[in-house]
Each structure stands twice: as C-alpha cells, then as structure tokens.
C-alpha cells in the first residue's frame, strides 16, 4: 500500500513540519496575502493543499512550512501555515516552473524553457551575475537581456521587503505598493517610522501602521504617533471631499482614533503646523462664527491661488468685440439651423460680453447648443478656441457634439508624470495656453487641485466659459468648485431649466428634472410595447430576484427589444459595492454570462483578468492618458512580457501585470464612478437595502448617464427615499468666500 495524505481533525493543533514545491496556485489574494496552493511534498502520492498568508507565491518555489492539519467540510484535508521559509527551487523542472510562472517580467514559459535548456541548474547564477549570457538565447537581444536582469534583481529585493512586511501583517498587494514607494530603503524607513505608511501608501490605514509600531515598541502617547494620527485623519477627511477641516472636528476625530486626551492631539496639531505639515488660520463660517480652519498645505495653496487667478481673469479687459446681439443672435441661429428660446437667448447675450461665465443646467436644457453657438460666433471673429473636460469620455463626447477637438484638462495642460506627486504641468503661469476662449465642460467634476492648475495656465486676456450640472454629484477629489463659483456671485451665471433636447419625447430628461425638483418620476409604461419608451421601472423587492432580473435584462430583454450590445452599450450602475445588487456580486454574475470566449487570463493583485473582460480604470494615470472611470475591453494577455493590452477610448493601453490594481471589472460600476460618462443604456438597481446611499443627487446622476434608455429595478419606496433626501454631505471649502473677498478687494488673501 502506498502512502496516504494524513487526515487530521480540525481540533488537532499539533504543529507539524513539511517541505515541498509549489505546483499550482489555486488562489492568491494580493491584498490580504491569503493563498491556496497545491504543493508536491516528498512521501505524499497526491498534491497537498496548503492554505495561509504567503508573500507573492510562485510556481516552482520551495516552501519549508510549519503548521497544522485540518479538515475542510468541502475541500477535505488542508495544511494551514503558521510560519514558513521560502527557497528557490534547485531541480531543472522546478527552476523552469519558477521562471515561467510570470513572476519575472520578460520571462514567460517559452523563454524560461530556453534559459533552463541552455544553463540548467546555473540559470539563477546567470540571471544574478552574468546576464550577458542571455544573449546566447535566440530572441533575446541586449535590451531585453538588460530588462530581464533588472526585473530579476528587483524581484529578489522586493521579495525580501515583502517577507519583512508580511511578518507584520501587511499583505503582498500592499507590500508591493510599499516597495514601489520606498524601494530598497523600505525596511529601514519603516523601522524608523512605521506611521509613514498611513500617509504615504494609499490603502494602508492608520490601524495597520499602528499595529506595526506597537510591535516595535512605540508608545501610545508617542509624539510621532500623535502627529501621524493627525495627518492620517486629515488625509482621510480630504478623501471625503473636504478642502479644510475645522480644528475642533479634527481634534475630536483624531482623539477618538488615537484613544488619547484632546490636549495631546492639540499639541500634535501644533507640532504639525511648526513642521509645515499643516496650515491653521482663522475664518468666519456661514453663521458668522469665528473658527480655525486646518489645511494640508497643497489644498490651502490651491484654494488661495485659485481665488486670485479667477479674479485676475475676471478683472481683465474683455476681449470680445461683436456686432449688436440683435444682429449676432439671428445670424448664429441661421448658421446652426436652430431657434433659441427664453433662457438660451439670455445666456447667449451674457456670454457675448462676459470675461468669465457659468452655464449650468440639467439634461436637455440646451447647454451643448449654447456651446456650439458661442464657438460659432467666436470662430467667425478669428478667436483661438480650446475645449476641455475632466475625463477622456467627457472630452470625446464634447468633440462629437461640437465638431471641435476637445482634450482632457490634463492633456491640454501637458501633464508629465504618472502621478500627481511625481509630475507637473508644462502649461502654467509662465507658459500659458494659446487661446482667446476656453470652454470647460463637466465643470462639476473638477476638484480644487486641478482647478488651481487650470486657472494659472489661462492667459489674462482670455475669456472662460464653465459648463456643468451643479446638481450632480460633486468631484471625487476635494472641493466643490462649480458650486463655489456660483455661490460667490462674482461672475454671471445662467441656470437653464427649460427642456429643449428631445422635448417631452424623452422620459429620461423629464424624470431627471422631476427627481431634481423633489418629485417622483413617472412610471407609466403604457404604449411602450408598440412605441418603445426610454424610461422603465420594474418593481422587485427581493435583492436576489433583482439580480437575476438584471442579468436577464442585460443579456436578453434589452438587446432583443432595442438592439443594444449587452457589453458595449449597456451599463449597470449601482449605489453600493456590497450585497446581491452591489458591484462585486453583479460583476461576478454578469462576467460569467457575458464573457464566454474563455481566453487567456492572469491573476494579480487579487483580481482575475481575462481576454474579453470589460474593465474600468479606477485611478488617473496621466502617463497612459487614462482616467478614473474610463472603460475598455481586454484585448490580449501577454504572459511572456507580463503585459495586458486594453482597448480604451483613447486607444490601446498596455499594463504591466504589476499595474493591474488600476483595473476593475466594469460590467457593473458604482454611480460615483460613472460621473462624466454617458452610455446608450443604463440599468440601475435601487433597493431599500441601499438606504445609506439613497440620495437625490446620486439617483439624478445615475439616470442622467443614460442617453437612450434607463431601466430602474427595485422598489418605489427606495426611489421615494432617494428623491426626498436632498441633504448632501457638506464639504468644507472656502473658495466662495475667498472669491468674494478677492473680487471686492476687502482683504488680501
């Protein structure tokens, strides 16, 4: 009889030791570090299932493990790791598997086979010290050999750092970010000040950094801990959209998180101020009460100088010289083949003699028509015109609507670098934009930092038109720029309310305006069977049944009735990430039925990406010219080069495997992520389970994303809750007040 894998009860806590080679990675979550491995262990005829936290496992890697055996009710016998040591494989077969696992950029299965065939067990030594010998392999030139050598050394160094971090409970996904940020100095930096993680590394919270510090012997009342806690709270509050925080609110929040007396926090705030990590200044709030505002320096600088620069533009001599409106307006109406009415005519009149102007209004109110008219008039006078929008999709839509090229604000300002921290704008106050008129669409999406960079690049002689819907969700980043400009009262604002586009024929437009006015949308579908409507509501109060209904709508009912492509044309938008109709579950279920080509796939950063997948970019990547909210399709996965090719609106974008945390599946996305985008058809689940997120501006934003079709699935009660709830969370900004002060000259800011 042969050996059998020992079967131990789940109650057996006796520590055992086993050593084996990773043959297959069943599951690996880079965020948590949790992995399920199939390992060949000497003396066991079958592969052993090993589970536990393992830093960046690779096929072919040898693990010496200590742990306990347990029975899983579904998966049987498993070895749960308590601790382990990692070794590079020594056998020919193991080395080939290790190198071909995709761990080393530039080495896939084919190249791995060639390396091992030529160098055998000396392969690692060649990669370490003699990379020039790689030139002996067909298909490897000097450039590729150097790249493979660099990737090998970086991976070796990175794994050392990751093992150190893992010992303090940091998963491999976050450990990778730590390594990218600090490089080889990561261990030294963290030993000196582990609290830097909470500020420097996105996704690692103060709690994790605090645990590491505690294990290193840092005191609860350490000044270093207090300062770090204060800065962490500030960063978290800016992620909620605040430009500043009242000092009392900051003190209370930090004292609660740190579990220390308020006086220690106050001392920490003062230490941060002295170290120029925070700016503290007095201000008068809306109720006339004096208070202290606390800023992170970049946001204070951006807010102050945004006010100065907008006032500079406002007070510059107007550059427009036209014939009388009585002549110009009829002329442009004839040129465009349209007739302006009411508010549109007034808006155009004001645009003809305003250095800075805001046009705001909901869908169908004629904002795009006005833009076209302004462009037509200014073009006839020989004006240099530039059009811009915050996102690639919004810029593309603007180009299609006006016939004039529009760029993203970052591209227009010629941003260099891969992140806001590491790059800069070529266009600035000393190298201004070459334009006489700048039209900025989707202005509600512009955050305070971007607004600052935009304004300082506008020449003083140019005029500016900001266009947007102030009732939509505010920017993802800190600030509430469009609302602040309107509230300041320093420049002409035209608010369009009359519906022109599609008129009464579009129930999307009609219902969007009803919701924005606090009225329930119309649910009458009579006549839709013979003449398709563009707005539907389907009652379903069971979340699991709603999920099945959404799948049916996306895959069958909508494509059959309207001819929409289920992947390219239909977008599911949801208020939540969790639950039966949250983004996570919806993406899993929809992906299974919509991506049936079963192409090559890769698992990195806790995500499985497969050829044919619909994906969304979740961070601004200015180097690649892709932005938060951009949607594309995975065209090809190249395991040899460790790259994923994605077709985006801006073209084909190449991602390294290490960059896949920038992508998520996009069969269903949050309404927040849909800002600035339009889709032919949208399906929106709205359930009472979404109670915390049911807000008027959220529902309004979701509905206005649909161009030709909107389908709500859920309950009328949930819709009523959202319509009634117009209490949007207050954002702390002082831009409106600074604009007033600057424009009236009452105060130097």
691-726 pLDDT tens trace:
677 888 889 999 999 989 999 999 999 999 999 988
pLDDT band at 270 (very low <50, low <70, confident <90, very high): very high
So what's the pLDDT on residue 606? Answer: 58
Relative to beta strand 601-604, strand 607-610 is: antiparallel
Least confident of 138-147, 162-171, 411-420, 437-446: 162-171
SS3 label, residue 111:
helix
CA distance linking residue 55 with residue 162, whole number of Å: 6
Please report the beta strands in 497-600, taking only residues with DSSP state E, as ranges in sequence order. 535-539, 570-574
CB 146 within 8 A of CB 138: no
Helix 223-239 to helix 206-215 angle, to the nearest 10 degrees? 160
Judged against a pLDDT cut of 60, whether residue 10 lies above it is answered with no
Q: SS3 string of 269-314?
A: HHHHHHCCCCEEEEEECCCCCEEEEEECHHHHHHHHHHHHHHHHHH
The token pair at 356 is 């800075």
Instruction: Answer whether residue 172 shows pLDDT above 70.
Output: no
Q: Which of 112-126, 507-521, 624-638 has the lowest mean pLDDT?
A: 624-638
Rounded Cα distance between 671 and 632, Å, is 17
Residues 6+ apart with CB under 8 A from 234: 245, 250, 278, 294, 296
Check: CB of residue 178 under 8 Å from CB of residue 185.
Answer: no
DSSP SS3 for 377: helix
pLDDT of residue 3 exceeding 50, the answer is no
Kindly indicate the confidence band of residue 604, based on its pLDDT and cuts at 50, 70 and 90: low
pLDDT band, very low/low/confident/very high, at 529 (cuts 50, 70, 90): very low
pLDDT grade for 422, boundaries at 50, 70 and 90: low
What does the alpha-carbon distance between residue 31 and residue 205 come to, in Å, rounded to a whole number?
13
Average the pLDDT over 216-220 and give the result: 87
The Cα–Cα gap between 209 and 194 comes to 6
Q: How far is CA 33 from the centre of its chain?
A: 22
Of 195-204, 330-339, 713-722, the one with minimum mean pLDDT is 195-204
Cα–Cα distance, 395 to 398 (Å, whole number): 5
Q: How confident is the model at residue 7 (pLDDT cuts 50, 70, 90)?
A: very low
Locus of tokens 């790059």: 423
Report the SS3 class of residue 127.
Answer: helix
Q: Please check whether residue 504 is in contact with residue 459, taking contact to mean a CB–CB distance below 8 angstroms.
A: no
Q: What is the pLDDT of residues 53-88, one digit of tens each?
A: 776 788 888 888 889 998 888 888 999 988 888 777
Given this model, what pLDDT does residue 702 score? Answer: 93
The shares of helix, strand and coil residues in the chain, as percent rounded to the nearest 5, are 40, 20, 35
What is the arithmetic mean of pLDDT over 581-607?
83
Helix (H, G, I), strand (E, B) or coil at 101: coil
Of 487, 492, 445, 483, nearest in space to 464 by CA: 492
How far CA 479 is from CA of 70, 273, 301, in Å, comes to 52, 22, 13
**3-class SS at 138?**
coil
HSE at residue 78, side-chain half, CA atoms within 13 A, is 19
Task: Give the distance from CA 163 to its chain's centroid.
Answer: 28
- Rounded CA separation 660/54 (Å): 19
Rounded to two decimals, the pTM is 0.75
Tokens 């076209």 found at: 372
Token pair in block for residue 748: 């130097």
pLDDT of residue 6: 32
Q: What is the residue-averaged pLDDT of the chain?
A: 85
The pLDDT, as a whole number, for residue 710 is 95
Q: Which residue has the higher pLDDT, 575 or 287?
A: 575
């Amino acid at each position: 009889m042969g050996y059998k894998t020992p079967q131990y009860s789940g109650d057996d806590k006796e520590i055992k030791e086993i050593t084996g080679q990773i043959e297959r990675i069943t599951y690996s979550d880079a965020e948590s570090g949790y992995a399920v491995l199939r390992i060949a262990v000497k003396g066991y005829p079958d592969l052993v299932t090993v589970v536990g936290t393992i830093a960046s496992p690779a096929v072919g890697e040898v693990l010496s493990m200590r742990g306990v055996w347990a029975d899983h009710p579904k998966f049987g016998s498993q070895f749960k790791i308590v601790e382990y040591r990692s070794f590079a494989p020594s056998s020919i077969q193991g080395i080939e598997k290790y190198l071909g696992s995709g761990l080393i950029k530039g080495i896939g299965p084919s190249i791995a086979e060639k390396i091992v065939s030529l160098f055998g067990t000396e392969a690692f030594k060649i990669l370490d010290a003699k990379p020039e010998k790689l030139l002996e392999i067909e298909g490897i030139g000097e450039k590729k050999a150097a790249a493979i050598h660099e990737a090998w050394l970086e991976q070796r160094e990175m794994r050392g750092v990751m093992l150190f971090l893992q010992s303090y409970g940091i998963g491999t996904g976050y450990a990778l970010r730590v390594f990218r940020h600090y490089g080889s100095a990561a261990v030294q930096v963290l030993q000196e000040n582990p609290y830097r993680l909470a500020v420097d590394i996105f996704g690692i919270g103060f709690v994790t950094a605090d645990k590491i510090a505690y294990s290193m012997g840092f005191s609860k009342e350490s000044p270093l801990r207090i300062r770090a806690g204060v800065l962490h709270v500030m960063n978290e509050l800016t992620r909620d959209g605040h430009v500043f925080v009242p000092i009392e609110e900051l003190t209370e929040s930090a004292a609660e998180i740190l579990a220390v007396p308020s006086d220690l926090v106050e001392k920490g705030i003062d230490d941060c101020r002295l170290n120029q990590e925070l700016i503290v200044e007095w201000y008068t709030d809306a109720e006339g009460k004096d208070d202290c505002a606390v800023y992170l320096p970049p946001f204070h600088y951006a807010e102050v100088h945004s006010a100065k620069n907008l006032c500079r533009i406002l007070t510059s001599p107007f550059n427009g010289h036209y014939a009388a409106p009585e002549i110009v307006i009829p002329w442009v109406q004839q040129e465009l083949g349209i007739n302006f009415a009411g508010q549109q005519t007034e808006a155009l009149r004001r645009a003809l003699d305003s250095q800075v102007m805001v046009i705001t209004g909901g869908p169908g109110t004629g904002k795009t028509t006005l833009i076209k008219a302004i462009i037509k008039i200014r073009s006839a006078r020989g004006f240099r015109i530039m059009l811009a929008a915050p996102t690639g999709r919004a810029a593309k839509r603007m180009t299609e609507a006006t016939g004039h090229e529009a760029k993203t604000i970052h591209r227009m300002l010629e941003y260099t670098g891969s992140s806001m921290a590491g790059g800069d704008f070529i266009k600035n106050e000393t190298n201004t934009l070459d334009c006489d008129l700048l039209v900025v669409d989707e202005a509600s999406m512009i955050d305070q930092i971007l607004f600052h960079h935009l304004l300082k690049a506008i020449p003083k002689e140019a005029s500016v038109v900001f266009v947007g819907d102030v009732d939509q969700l505010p920017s993802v980043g800190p600030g509430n720029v469009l609302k602040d400009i309107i509230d300041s009262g320093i420049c002409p604002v035209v608010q369009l309310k009359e519906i022109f586009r599609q008129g009464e024929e579009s129930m999307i437009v009609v219902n969007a305006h009803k919701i924005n006015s606090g009225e329930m949308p119309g649910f009458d579908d009579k006549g839709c069977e013979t003449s398709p409507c563009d707005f539907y509501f389907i009652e379903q109060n069971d979340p699991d049944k709603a999920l099945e209904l959404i799948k049916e709508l996306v895959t069958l009912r909508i494509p059959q009735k309207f001819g929409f492509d289920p992947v390219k044309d239909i977008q599911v938008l949801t208020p939540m990430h969790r639950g039966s109709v949250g983004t996570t579950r919806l993406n899993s279920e929809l992906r299974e039925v919509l991506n049936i080509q079963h192409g090559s796939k890769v698992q990195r950063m806790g995500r499985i990406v497969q050829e044919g997948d619909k994906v969304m970019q979740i961070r601004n990547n200015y180097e690649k010219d892709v932005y938060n909210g951009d949607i594309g399709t995975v065209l090809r996965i190249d395991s040899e080069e460790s790259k994923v090719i994605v077709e985006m609106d801006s073209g084909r974008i190449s991602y390294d495997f290490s960059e896949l945390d920038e992508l998520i599946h996009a069969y269903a996305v949050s309404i927040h992520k849909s800002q600035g985008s339009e889709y032919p058809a949208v399906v929106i689940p709205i359930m009472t389970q979404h109670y915390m997120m049911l807000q008027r501006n959220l529902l309004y934003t979701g509905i206005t994303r649909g161009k030709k079709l909107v389908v709500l699935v859920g309950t009328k009660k949930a819709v009523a809750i959202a319509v009634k709830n117009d209490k949007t969370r207050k954002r702390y900004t002082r831009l409106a007040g600074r604009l007033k002060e600057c424009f009236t000259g009452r105060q130097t800011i």
